[in-house]
Amino acid sequence: MPLFALMDCNNFYASCERLFRPELKAKPVVVLSNNDGCVIARSGEAKALGIPMCAPAYQWEHAFRQHGVAVFSSNYALYGDLSNRVMSVLEDLAPCVEAYSIDEAFLDLSGVAEPLALCRTIRERVGRHTGIPVSIGLARTKTLAKLAARRAKKDPALEGVFDLSACPDPDAVLRETEAGDVWGIGLRSAKRLLARGVRTALDFSRLPADWVRKELTVVGLQIQLELKGVSCLSVASAPAARRSVLCSRSFGQLVEDKEHLREAVCAFAARATEKLRAEGLEARALQVFTLTPRHREALPQHQGQATVTLPGPTNFTPDIVAAALRGLDLAFRPGFAYQKAGVVLLGLAAASGRQHSLLDLPPEERRRQRALMHVLDSVNHRHGRGTLRLAISSAPDRPWHMRQHRRSPRYTTNWDELPRIGAGRNSAALACGQRARHLLDE
């Protein structure tokens, strides 16, 4: 019989921020999205204050002050690094691990002798090695394991681990889960289900399959089977080949000036191309898009989008930037105040295995391009992102740059931002230092 576990870090970003600030242990903590726009993570105490997920930060400033909420800009360098540490603990203990997201992993525990005991060990060791609290759900399918993990998180009596496969009354768990909370059922599907009188995961699992197929496509059908205990999804221990690379940002202020938009698109294209090279990939096409602010209906709205085919697969920044600027010419309409733009690289393939073409650049020229990009990446890796860049992407204080006023230090990934044990700091600071040294020793 197949058996899956889902490990989910509790309030992951908020837990990361607390790690080096032990004085925040029982305090409400929230983490904001890029641009300090809205709430994307909350500690348990913040949830208890009624601060909803995705709450616009400016509407809650008063409540933050009133209740002494610790507010952080998002710090992805920190979260990414801690995520890697959590995943490596899992790799040490479990036979087959799929890092599903920054804070979740699926484990295939089919054939493991004592799966529940293993899950308890995992939870204890992740906590001891990283300081991140996690919940783990066990079940016969991935979709059910997600449900089990939700329950493990919610019910303190379970101490963070719940085995749905050994539950005497699994239907009760499905009955207590709203259909919209099932993995893969979003807002639209939940509305359709509700219109048919389906409220709970149990109701959904009992719908006629042909209705589900027709209304929710094969995706819905698969979810239904998984809820009934028929495993359709396996654990992918090797990550699938990437299909696209995206870089987009909301601007710190609305942007009308095309010149500023060109700078932004240039910077996004350059950043996306860096990611491409870091993974040894090349792109054959790209898309540029521009957006006016959705939430301000009084302003004239425009969504621009343009696709540009590159002459051949490439990861050479100047060529991709030039193509992106041609795309912007098509996606830009004057007279609008833009809030966001982005660049998507498409048609990805490994740079090493590429098909040669009659239209390719001469090998000497390709070598020259590769060498130039190698220097660019090395300098930026050593001295910080953006140290070496195309002249058009301009200085680091432009109106379109995002706001990020409350970012915590990159404690674990930047030598200049390590926590310090020093004069005038209290014992909490000492604890920080010990934690840091422990992490560095690892």
Partner DNA sequence: TCTGGGGTCCTAGGACCC
Sole window of 85-93, 179-187, 356-364, 414-422 interacting with DNA (rule: CB under 7 A): 179-187
Report the DSSP beta bridge partners of residue 139: 4
Interface pattern 183-222 for DNA (x via CB under 7 A): xxxxxxxx--------------------------xxx---
Residue with Cβ nearer DNA (89 or 145): 145
Among 296, 367, 385, 438, binds DNA (CB under 7 A): 296
- What single-letter DSSP state applies at residue 299? S
Residue with Cβ nearer DNA (186 or 363): 186
| Sequence-ordered list of residues with C-beta below 8 angstroms from that of 26, at least 6 positions apart, any chain | 45
Residue with Cβ nearer DNA (402 or 430): 402
CA-closest candidate to residue 325, choices 262, 276, 381:
262
CA-closest candidate to residue 56, choices 33, 72, 75:
33
Residue with Cβ nearer DNA (264 or 436): 264
- Residue 411 Cα to chain centre, angstroms: 20
CA-closest candidate to residue 341, choices 349, 350, 331, 354:
331
| Residue list 336-365, contact with DNA (CB under 7 A) | 339-340, 342, 347
Report the phi/psi class of residue 395: left, alpha or beta, with left for phi > 0 and alpha for psi in -120 to 50. Answer: beta
Residue with Cβ nearer DNA (231 or 429): 231
| Sequence-ordered list of residues with C-beta below 8 angstroms from that of 142, at least 6 positions apart, any chain | 4, 6, 106, 183, 226, 231, 233, 235
Interface pattern 32-71 for DNA (x via CB under 7 A): -xxx-xx-x-------------x-x-x-------------
Do 87 and 99 touch, CB atoms closer than 8 A? Answer: yes
Q: What are phi and psi of 297, to 5 degrees?
A: -70, -20
CA-closest candidate to residue 134, choices 243, 274, 12:
12
Among 93, 112, 285, 373, binds DNA (CB under 7 A): 285
Do 320 and 283 touch, CB atoms closer than 8 A? Answer: yes
CA-based Rg of the chain, rounded to a whole angstrom? 24
- Residue 166 Cα to chain centre, angstroms: 32
Sole window of 107-115, 124-132, 176-184, 204-212 interacting with DNA (rule: CB under 7 A): 176-184
Report the DSSP beta bridge partners of residue 345: 245, 286
Sole window of 31-39, 128-136, 257-265, 368-376 interacting with DNA (rule: CB under 7 A): 31-39
The single residue listed with the structure tokens 């990414």 is: 80
**Does residue 273 bind DNA (CB under 7 A)?**
no
To DNA, the closest distance from the beta carbon of 279 in angstroms equals: 9
Interface pattern 236-255 for DNA (x via CB under 7 A): ----x-xxxxxxxxx--xx-
Residue with Cβ nearer DNA (183 or 211): 183
To DNA, the closest distance from the beta carbon of 100 in angstroms equals: 7
Residue with Cβ nearer DNA (37 or 44): 37
CA-closest candidate to residue 41, choices 100, 84, 103, 134:
103
To DNA, the closest distance from the beta carbon of 161 in angstroms equals: 18
- Count of residues that interact with DNA, criterion CB under 7 A: 52
Q: Which residues bind DNA (CB under 7 A)?
A: 33-35, 37-38, 40, 54, 56, 58, 100-104, 146, 182-190, 217-219, 240, 242-250, 253-254, 275, 285, 293, 295-296, 305, 307, 309, 339-340, 342, 347, 402
